[in-house]
Amino acid sequence: MISWEQVLKKHNTKYGATFGTPDEMLAVLYNKHRSILRLEDILIVSAYAIRTRMIKSGIPLIKKGGRYGSGKIITQLRAMTPDYIASHTARELAEITGSDLYLVGASCRTHGIKFKRVRR
């Protein structure tokens, strides 16, 4: 279980912010960065936990467009060269396209686009 009060305290001390509640922090950061993946990197909390907290708090999530957002992603990926895509991971492609990691991976698998895989 994540202690959101500790996450809030760490973020306030690290960046000199003055957020009062974790929900206020998530709303402001999400409106600024427009991506849960970016929040994951900033707060060092899993994207699933951030998304779940935002839904419970009533913070509206940004729609990515199209059915599951795949139309926007595929047009952006088709504009890139295959060598460029092959040299990037799905997470990097998600940041480049401004989309979710899950949507990029699913769209690439559906359309047969190969990207760099990193095994942990």
115 class by beta-carbon count within 10 Å (0-12 exposed, 13-18 middle, 19+ buried): buried
Give the three-state DSSP class for 116: strand
Does one domain contain both 52 and 72? no
- Whether 25 is in a domain gets the answer yes
Q: What pLDDT, on a 0 to 100 scale, did the predictor assign at position 55?
A: 92
Q: Report DSSP state, residue 106.
A: H
Check whether residue 107 and residue 73 sit in a common domain. yes
Same domain, residue pair 11 and 47:
yes
Domain-embedded: residue 118: no
Residue 62 lies in a domain: no
Q: Is residue 120 in a domain? A: no
Choosing from 57, 77, 101, the residue where a domain stops is 57
Q: Do residues 88 and 44 both lie within one domain?
A: no
10 in any annotated domain: yes
Residue 50 and residue 73 in one domain: no
Domain boundary among 15, 38, 57: 57
- Which pLDDT does position 49 carry in this prediction? 94
Q: Read off the amino acid at residue 83.
A: D
C-alpha 96/C-alpha 35 separation (Å) is 11
How many CB atoms neighbour CB 15 within 10 A? 11
Instruction: Count CB atoms within 10 A of the CB of residue 10.
Output: 12
116 in any annotated domain: no
Counting Cα atoms < 13 Å in the Cβ hemisphere of 51 gives 10
Reported as a single tens digit per residue, the pLDDT across 25-50 is: 999 999 888 888 889 999 999 989 99
Domain that holds residue 97: 67-111
Which residues does the chain have with pLDDT short of 50? none
State how many domains the chain has: 2
CB-count exposure of residue 16 (10 Å: 0-12, 13-18, 19+): exposed
Residue 52 lies in a domain: yes
